[in-house]
């Protein structure tokens, strides 16, 4: 039986299954003794509570497990080895899983370029520079993601995946800010009553979460600093 809770579970309210990393070895500590389970959502003991976001949508949810069950065959990998599987999942989310996202990023950028031409922003030297930079950064992101396809070493998540996560989350957040600047004052007004948002308004608001989920920007920087650059680890219990 699985008992516990998880906040920020993406699309849980639309899902038939979820994966759960839970402790299956009593007395184990930290990442030891964890197993990676596939758990059906439509069963007694699973309570899903959607979280209303700034966009007034609910992609994220809080999920409570109270004696939920799953078959023994639904263990992914070996019992007690769930942390390795979880790292591979995170590597996919942070790195190569972005390949599909880049199609939507490119469509967003193409749409913004069209809006900039229509509004005259494209002839403004400052906006031309910002739009060109956004385009160049997206191309860099695409090439680096393709190059990272050869960097996934089996089930072990390489720390280099954090470079991709930090880059694309920060890029999309900057893009959301650029999009509202291109819209000008119109970007500050909802398209419909009482709170019907346009595409770029939703992007601006939702992109704030992208620097948090899948490991926040601060976590990615720590991983890059310690595991890629070999810098001393951050002092435990340090205050900022």
Q: How confident is the model at residue 163 (pLDDT cuts 50, 70, 90)?
A: confident
For the record, the structure tokens of 238 come out as: 């340090």
Whether this prediction's pTM lies above 0.85 is answered by no
Q: For residues 202 and 204, give the distance between their C-alpha atoms in angstroms, rounded to a whole number.
A: 5
What is the predicted pLDDT for the residue at 160?
73
What is the predicted pLDDT for the residue at 240?
53
Q: What is the pLDDT averaged over residues 86-93? A: 77
What is the predicted pLDDT for the residue at 154?
42
Looking at every residue in the chain, the average pLDDT score rounds to 87
Q: For residues 98 and 192, give the distance between their C-alpha atoms in angstroms, rounded to a whole number.
A: 32
Q: DSSP per residue over the chain, as a string?
A: -EEEEEEEEETGGG-SEEEEEEE-STT--TTTTEEEEEEESSSTTEEEEE---TTS--SEEEEEEEEE---GGGEESSTTBHHHHHHHHHHHHHTTTHHHHHHHHHHHHHHHHHHHHHHTGGGSHHHHHHHHHHHHHHHHHHHHHHHGGGG-BTTBPPTTHHHHHHHHHHHHHHHHHHHHHHHGGGGGS-SBTTTB--HHHHHHHHHHHHTTTTS-HHHHHHHIIIIIS-PPPPPTT---
Q: What is the pLDDT averaged over residues 225-236? A: 87
Single out the catalytic residue among 93, 108, 160, 210.
93
What is the predicted pLDDT for the residue at 98?
67
Other C-beta atoms lying within 10 Å of the C-beta of residue 189: 9
Q: What is the pLDDT averaged over residues 173-195? A: 92
State yes or no: pLDDT of 66 exceeds 70: yes
Sketch out the chain's domains with CATH numbers.
Answer: 2-80 (2.40.110.10), 87-228 (1.20.140.10)
State yes or no: pLDDT of 111 exceeds 90: yes
State yes or no: pLDDT of 86 exceeds 80: yes
pLDDT per residue over 19-63, tens digit each? 999 988 888 888 888 999 999 999 999 999 999 888 888 889 999
Q: For residues 59 and 70, give the distance between their C-alpha atoms in angstroms, rounded to a whole number.
A: 24
The CA distances from residue 131 to 99, 172, 176, 203, 222, in Å, are: 22, 13, 12, 16, 30
What is the predicted pLDDT for the residue at 118?
94
Whether 93 sits among the annotated catalytic residues: the reply is yes
Q: What is the pLDDT averaged over residues 152-178? A: 79
Q: What is the pLDDT averaged over residues 189-218? A: 90
């Amino acid at each position: 039986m699985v008992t516990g809770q998880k906040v920020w579970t993406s699309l849980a309210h639309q899902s038939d299954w979820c994966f759960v990393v839970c402790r299956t070895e009593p007395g184990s500590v930290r990442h030891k003794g964890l197993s990676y389970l596939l758990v059906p959502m439509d069963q007694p003991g699973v309570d899903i509570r959607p979280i209303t976001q700034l966009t007034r949508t609910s992609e994220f949810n809080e999920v409570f497990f109270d004696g939920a069950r799953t078959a023994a065959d639904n263990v992914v990998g070996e019992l007690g080895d769930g942390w390795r599987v979880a790292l591979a999942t995170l590597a996919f989310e942070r790195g190569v899983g972005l390949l599909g996202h880049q199609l939507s990023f490119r469509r967003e950028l193409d749409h913004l370029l069209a809006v900039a031409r229509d509004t005259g922003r494209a002839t403004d030297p400052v906006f031309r520079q910002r739009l060109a930079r956004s385009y160049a950064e997206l191309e860099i992101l695409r090439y680096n993601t393709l190059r990272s396809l050869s960097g996934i070493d089996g089930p072990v998540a390489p720390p280099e995946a954090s470079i991709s996560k930090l880059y694309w989350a920060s890029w999309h957040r900057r893009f959301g800010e650029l999009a509202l600047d291109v819209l000008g004052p119109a970007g500050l007004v909802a398209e419909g009553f009482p709170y019907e948002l346009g595409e770029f308004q939703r992007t601006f608001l939702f992109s704030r979460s992208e620097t948090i989920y899948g490991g926040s920007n601060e976590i990615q920087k720590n991983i890059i600093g310690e595991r890629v650059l070999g810098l001393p680890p951050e002092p435990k219990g340090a205050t900022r």
